[in-house]
Amino acid sequence: MYQSLLTRRYLTSKIMPLLAILAVMLCSALVLTTWSIMGGFLVMLLKIGREMEGDVSISWPTVGFAHYERLIEKLESDPLIDAACPVIETFGVIVLPDDRQFGVKIKGIDERFARVAAYEQSIWWKPISEPLPKDRAREDVRLDPEWWSRRARMMASDGRIDAAEIAQYRPWEQMLADGLNLRERDPMTGAVVPAVVLGIELSGFSERLPNGTYAPADIAGRRVSEGGFTLKSGFIPNGSVTLTVLPMGPSGRAVGAVSARLPVANEFRTGLFEADKNTVLIRLEELQRMLNMDEAERLVEAPPPADPYATEVDPDGRERAPQRAASGIEPARVTTVLVKGAPGTDPEAVRARCLEAYAAFARELAGRVPSADQMHRTIQTWERQQATFIGAVKREIAMVLFLLLFISFVAVFLILAIFWSMVSEKTKDIGVLRSIGAGRLGVAWLWLRYGVVIGVAGGVLGSALAHAVVWNINPIHEWLGRALGLVIWDPSVYYFPEIPHEVIPWKAGVVLLGGVAFSVLGALIPAVKAARMDPVRALRFE
Amino acid sequence: MTRTAPTTPASPAPATNGAPGAPAAPLLSARSLYKTYRLGRVDVPVLRGVDLDVRRGEWVAVLGASGSGKSTLLHLLGGLDRPDRPAPPSAARAESGRPAGRIAFDGRDLAELSARELDRYRSESVGFVFQFYHLLPELRVLENVTIAAMVRYGRFGFARRRAEVEDHAKALLGSFGLSHRLGHRPAELSGGERQRVAIARALMNDPPVLLADEPTGNLDHATGEAILDEIARTRYAAGLTMVMVTHDREIAARADRVVRLTDGRVA
């Protein structure tokens, strides 16, 4: 009882315990902030990965595998599997309206992709009724249904765009539908044509604002052969791009580049900078066609004859070397089937079901699809696919936390020094307490309890400080950039355009307990000193 | 707070615990107390075989010069320190014929008490009053007094008796004329008021023995006299046994018996 009374009074009447609380608070805040930001990075990475790629991917890269619809049917009959969709993943070159060219990752998808991935949520240009959390000034153009028509009229009035471009106007609802279908109606011919959806960071025509929204550029220049530039609206969904891909034969050999000019139906934003900067989505059938992976009658190369001198007679009756090609129907192929598990299902359990389903599928179509053994390594959860990177991030988090823990020992010694000094200062009080019957353990507990209180107070304040910093880390970062020119977070290096952050209650709890443990550790030696103090010497202490 | 009522205000009759007319057994008994302090590399003998009996209800003044071992004797009697044992055994036995370094309270040897029992002895059986008051500066007056009960009863015991304890503390402080100072800090009190608070703290747990170490040594004459009057009044009211250490003959003269300590021995 007397311990709690003295703890309260020592806390409120001395400056030194406040310094100890400050030390614990700063250490706790440092650890929790770092852990939350680095942990947030990992959590966001895993979340976006699952949102974009589903739980499990069944892949046979480059040449792909056929009869995928049968596999999807088999997968979707499993109660643990919610949906599956076919995808082609390849690489190509994109030429933007201003003639800039990039190597990009091209993904062929169809409507089923939205059932497996959070595709609809990622489509950017669509009608919204509520502004984004940080868009307090409601600057998001998507909030205005008439934004494009008014902008077009304004730009037409000063001659920056022509009637043809004005005709490309599509309401936000239509842009969303076009983005989902990866098709667009040609304003001139009225024909529905395949279209692409670009990652929103790819073109560079839309500027990301600090409030999290994107502002389309006014003008995009294009170099013309006569010299100079033509000017167009910089709103990329009204433009078109040229995609070039390299089709492969079934044996994996390139058979020549194929290019197509395609309108841009929309843009998408996953929040994963790497995907938003380098990915182009295209309708699956169009990509299959460009890569010669669609169902078609093709010449199939036969194996060389056993007799090198063998001949055959052609339809005109002339003798010739045996032909090594025959025509046949080649089924459509995809490189990947993405699988989404039922809600709450562990991705590893989904992977196990996918392995079983593929094994059955491969048995039924033996010789016509890669065997189950061949596919075993390519049926992976997203986390396994990124295991090297994710493992490195986890190890980095552990290493940084270890270093911070080590640094936090400074607080232990600081508390030790402060408590040592306080025990010395309160020597006479200890003698008085002993003279009225306080035992050694009671005196030791007085100081340990004091350490606990300082640890709890420092931990709680540190946790509050960490929450405040973590929740406002992006505004703080922006302010640092504006005020000091200090930009630490480079989206192209760290994947996400904004600093990810997440304070998980159990982490705050661990840091709080750590703060208490460190404080008690710092108080331990002074507490032992106080307990072992000779009461007579303590009373005579000057 | 029930105590044996004094028979006369001037000199309370010592209590007896045997047949009528038989001498009362001492409440506090010290035999062959030796104590040596070590200052650097030098051993400084402070007590060299002190024998002392204090009867129940008796006021004994221990008179001695500075450094004669008065305070050390008081600390030993109060269980704050332990006598050296044996120190040296042959010499102790030779001088007293009894085992060395024995202090008994109500017949029980303090050396046989465990650390916890000794803590309880200091909490319940003796009350200390020091020359320099030794109040806890962060606590208010009432808390400085009730803290003795907090130590005695522990968290839950104190919580159960809180109202009773606080009433008792207020009554004690009221009897010393400090009712208007309950919420003050020691730094806001005069020397005499501080010493009254210290006496109230010493009496908080109704100990049968009060050990006072130069209680007026830090006060002016008038205040000291007033404090002594209050101590005497309290002693009579509560039937306390008291050992008071002083170097002042005039103060010692107020006691029932004076014991002179010279060179670590009772003269």
Q: What is the pLDDT of residues A118-144, one digit of tens each?
A: 999 999 999 999 888 777 788 888 999
For residue A58, pLDDT beyond 70: yes
Q: What pLDDT, on the 0 to 100 scale, is given for residue A85?
A: 96
Q: Which chain B residue's Cα is nearest to A432?
A: B134
- Pick from B115, B138, B159: CB nearest A13: B138
Spatial CB neighbours of B118, under 8 Å, sequence gap ≥ 6? B79, B110
- Pick from A2, A440, A536: CB nearest B80: A536
- Helix, strand or coil for residue B60? strand
For residue B95, pLDDT beyond 60: no
- Identify whether residues A274 and A199 lie together within a single domain: yes
- Identify whether residues A39 and A82 lie together within a single domain: no
Asked whether the beta carbons of B103 and B110 are under 8 A apart, the reply is yes
Asked, for residue A174, whether it belongs to a domain, the answer is yes
Higher pLDDT, A209 or A441: A441
Interface contact flag, B134 A4, Cβ < 8 Å: no
Chain B residues within an 8 Å CB radius of A429: 136
- Identify whether residues A43 and A151 lie together within a single domain: no
Q: What pLDDT, on the 0 to 100 scale, is given for residue A231?
A: 63
Asked, for residue A465, whether it belongs to a domain, the answer is yes
Chain A residues within an 8 Å CB radius of B44: none
Chain B residues within an 8 Å CB radius of A539: 80, 130, 134
Q: What are the angstrom distances between the C-alpha of A245 and each of A13, A108, A445?
A: 75, 12, 74
- Identify whether residues A115 and A174 lie together within a single domain: yes
CATH 3.40.50.720, domain B56-79+114-266, yes or no: no
Q: What pLDDT, on the 0 to 100 scale, is given for residue B13?
A: 42
- Identify whether residues A140 and A282 lie together within a single domain: yes
| Residue A304 to residue B28: CA distance in whole angstroms | 121
Q: What is the ipTM of this complex?
A: 0.85
Chain A residues within an 8 Å CB radius of B153: 1
- Identify whether residues A105 and A165 lie together within a single domain: yes
Q: What pLDDT, on the 0 to 100 scale, is given for residue A360?
A: 94
Asked, for residue A36, whether it belongs to a domain, the answer is yes
**Model pTM?**
0.68
Q: Provide the residue count of chain B.
A: 267
Interface contact flag, B120 A437, Cβ < 8 Å: yes
pLDDT band for position B265 (50/70/90)? confident
Interface contact flag, B148 A534, Cβ < 8 Å: no
Q: Token digits for A278?
A: 């380098």
- Pick from B81, B154, B201: CB nearest A536: B81
**DSSP tag of B22:** S
Interface contact flag, A539 B134, Cβ < 8 Å: yes
Measured CA angle at A219 (ends A215, A224), to 5 deg? 145
Range of the domain at A506: 2-48+389-540
Asked, for residue A414, whether it belongs to a domain, the answer is yes
| Residue B50 to residue B52: CA distance in whole angstroms | 7
- Helix, strand or coil for residue B130? coil
pLDDT digits (tens, 9 = 90+) for A473-526: 888 887 887 787 777 766 555 556 677 777 778 888 998 999 899 999 999 999
The answer to which of A16-30, A350-364, B18-32, B245-259 has the lowest mean pLDDT is B18-32
- Identify whether residues A193 and A228 lie together within a single domain: yes
Using alpha carbons, select from B54, B51, B28, B71 the residue that is nearest to residue B246.
B71
- Pick from A1, A9, A536: CB nearest B158: A1
Q: What are the angstrom distances between the C-alpha of B16 and each of B22, B23, B54?
A: 7, 6, 13
- Identify whether residues A216 and A104 lie together within a single domain: yes
State the pairing for strand pair A101-109/A279-283. Answer: parallel
- Identify whether residues A14 and A163 lie together within a single domain: no
pLDDT digits (tens, 9 = 90+) for A68-78: 999 999 999 99
Asked, for residue A188, whether it belongs to a domain, the answer is yes
State the pairing for strand pair A81-95/A240-245. Answer: antiparallel
Spatial CB neighbours of B176, under 8 Å, sequence gap ≥ 6? B196, B197, B199, B200, B230
* Count of the separate structural domains present in chain A: 2
- Identify whether residues A266 and A407 lie together within a single domain: no
Interface contact flag, A1 B134, Cβ < 8 Å: no
Q: What pLDDT, on the 0 to 100 scale, is given for residue B21?
A: 46
| A interface test, pick of B73, B76, B80 with most A CB neighbours within 10 Å | B80
Q: What pLDDT, on the 0 to 100 scale, is given for residue B1?
A: 36
Strands of A5-118 (E only): list them. Answer: 56-59, 65-66, 81-95, 101-109
Mean pLDDT on B105-119: 88
First to last CA, chain B: 36
Q: What pLDDT, on the 0 to 100 scale, is given for residue A220?
A: 59
Asked, for residue A382, whether it belongs to a domain, the answer is no
Chain A residues within an 8 Å CB radius of B201: 436
- Most confident range (mean pLDDT) of A33-42, A204-213, A292-301, B82-91 is A33-42
pLDDT band for position B94 (50/70/90)? very low
- Identify whether residues A234 and A277 lie together within a single domain: yes
- Identify whether residues A213 and A234 lie together within a single domain: yes
Asked, for residue A323, whether it belongs to a domain, the answer is no
Q: What pLDDT, on the 0 to 100 scale, is given for residue B249?
A: 87
Q: Is A437 near chain B, with CB under 8 Å?
A: yes
Instruction: Give CA A78 to chain center in angstroms.
Output: 28
Q: What pLDDT, on the 0 to 100 scale, is given for residue A223?
A: 63
Using alpha carbons, select from A245, A244, A268, A255 the residue that is nearest to residue A180.
A268
Asked, for residue A284, whether it belongs to a domain, the answer is yes
For residue A299, pLDDT beyond 80: no
Q: What pLDDT, on the 0 to 100 scale, is given for residue B92?
A: 46
Q: Which chain A residue's Cα is nearest to B203?
A: A436
Using alpha carbons, select from B120, B45, B116, B117 the residue that is nearest to residue B84.
B45
For residue B252, pLDDT beyond 80: yes
* Mean pLDDT for all residues in chain A: 85
pLDDT band for position A303 (50/70/90)? low
Q: What pLDDT, on the 0 to 100 scale, is given for residue A287?
A: 95
Q: Is B70 near chain A, with CB under 8 Å?
A: no
pLDDT digits (tens, 9 = 90+) for A3-48: 888 888 888 877 888 888 998 999 999 989 888 888 888 888 888 8
